Amino acid sequence: MAKINFGGVEEEVVTREEFPLSKAQEVLNGETVAVLGYGVQGPGQALNLKDNGINVIVGQRKGSKTWDKAVADGWVPGETLFELEEACEKGTVLQFLLSDAGQIALWPTVKKHLTPGKALYFSHGFGVTYKEKTGIVPPEDVDVILVAPKGSGTSLRRLFVEGKGLNSSFAIHQDATGNARQKAIALGIGVGSGYLFETDFYKEVSSDLTGERGTLMGAIQGLFRAQYEVLRENGHSPSEAFNETVEEATQSLYPLIAENGMDWMYANCSTTAQRGALDWMGPFYEATKPVFAQLYKSVIDGVEAQKSIDSNSQPDYREKLEAELKELEESEMWQAGKAVRKLRPENN
């Protein structure tokens, strides 16, 4: 592992330099990786592993939209694409990539096929961390590992195709074979990670649930909406409000922050923008930190996990979700966004 200084704190990470793809292929030689689920993370991880020379099969419910997507992506029924239970039987590494609710439902089937020496792989610590709520308690004679890409499966695949990588965390919950750590890192390299940093299942799920509800989606949508509405209420057009709120951020500033950092961004904008950003950073910090503290407490107390389980297990969950997403889609701000995206030069 490489020792890297992160803002004065030294941390060990795994890069492709000390753990190249050839080493990952060697560690996984003779394994059959069964990717269970072809929804959010499944396609990116499965395709990246396949393109990296790892023996991969996909398990999915036949007749589902995701089964058809797997076929469209080149997985062959009866050869590399199977019903979930058959994939569980054939795989030596079971990548459990169904939704949290899907994992709860399929767990009895998966557990039945976890024979001694196999590995159970997660990309989210939810099921194991909240075992009292999910019932997911792996047998003691299998490896239980985690690789969690820090982004969507779509981004994981896109960056891989571009010759880049998406950073991932990894964790070892149970090492039955003595080879769990090597296997986890090899799979992390195989799915296309930029670098890997170590965590545990509890820390992964608590940081992940906080991030999703916070700056990754929940908080950012709340901030976007608040600024957009204030601009609209004060006579600004939808185009002006959306461009100043979302378009400039996502198309211009956020990519520069990703490349160079916020310190660089502050140093490379107008003096007027510098002064205003520095002055208002404090009030926004003071206003939102208590909300993040409240959110984190809700996560570690298990409230967010229980909400997810209760909501996702309802028979009308999909209908209610679609109604909420439709309301978001049809809001003026995101309708303005749809119009703005069509006017981008690359779309004309």
pLDDT of 8 strictly over 90 = no
Q: Band of the pLDDT at 7, cuts 50, 70, 90?
A: confident
Would you state the pLDDT for residue 3?
85
pLDDT of 221 strictly over 90 = yes
Distance CA 197, CA 165 (A): 14
Centroid of chain to Cα 52: 20
46, two tokens: 């499965």
Clarify whether 236 is annotated catalytic.
no
Q: Would you say 75 and 99 are in contact if contact means Cβ atoms under 8 Å apart?
A: no
- Domain extent listing, the chain: 2-200, 211-347
Q: Band of the pLDDT at 113, cuts 50, 70, 90?
A: very high
Give 165-228 as a DSSP string. -EEEEEEEEE-SSS-HHHHHHHHHHHTTEEEEEE--HHHHHHHHHHHHHTTTTHHHHHHHHHHH
Instruction: Identify the CA nearest to 53 among candidates 77, 23, 81, 79.
Output: 23
Catalytic residue (choose from 113, 124, 173, 236):
124
In CATH terms, the superfamily for domain 211-347 is N-(1-d-carboxylethyl)-l-norvaline Dehydrogenase; domain 2 (1.10.1040.10)
Instruction: Identify the CA nearest to 155 among candidates 213, 194, 204.
Output: 194
**pLDDT averaged over every residue in the chain:** 94
Distance CA 205, CA 31 (A): 27
Would you state the pLDDT for residue 40?
87
Centroid of chain to Cα 309: 18
pLDDT higher at 346 or 329: 329
Q: What is the dihedral of CA 152, 153, 155, 156, to 10 degrees?
A: 120
Distances (CA, A) of 101 to 107, 129, 148, 341: 10, 14, 18, 34
pLDDT of 1 strictly over 80 = no
Q: Would you say 35 and 97 are in contact if contact means Cβ atoms under 8 Å apart?
A: yes
Percent of the chain with pLDDT over 70: 100
Would you state the pLDDT for residue 63?
87
Model confidence pLDDT, tens digit, residues 168-192: 999 999 999 999 999 999 999 999 9
Domains 2-200 and 211-347 share a fold: no
CATH number for region 2-200: 3.40.50.720
Would you state the pLDDT for residue 4?
84
Average pLDDT for residues 28-43, to the nearest whole number?
95
pTM of the full structure: 0.89
Average pLDDT for residues 111-119, to the nearest whole number?
97
Q: Would you say 98 and 106 are in contact if contact means Cβ atoms under 8 Å apart?
A: yes
Model confidence pLDDT, tens digit, residues 287-331: 999 999 999 999 999 999 999 988 888 889 889 999 999 999 999
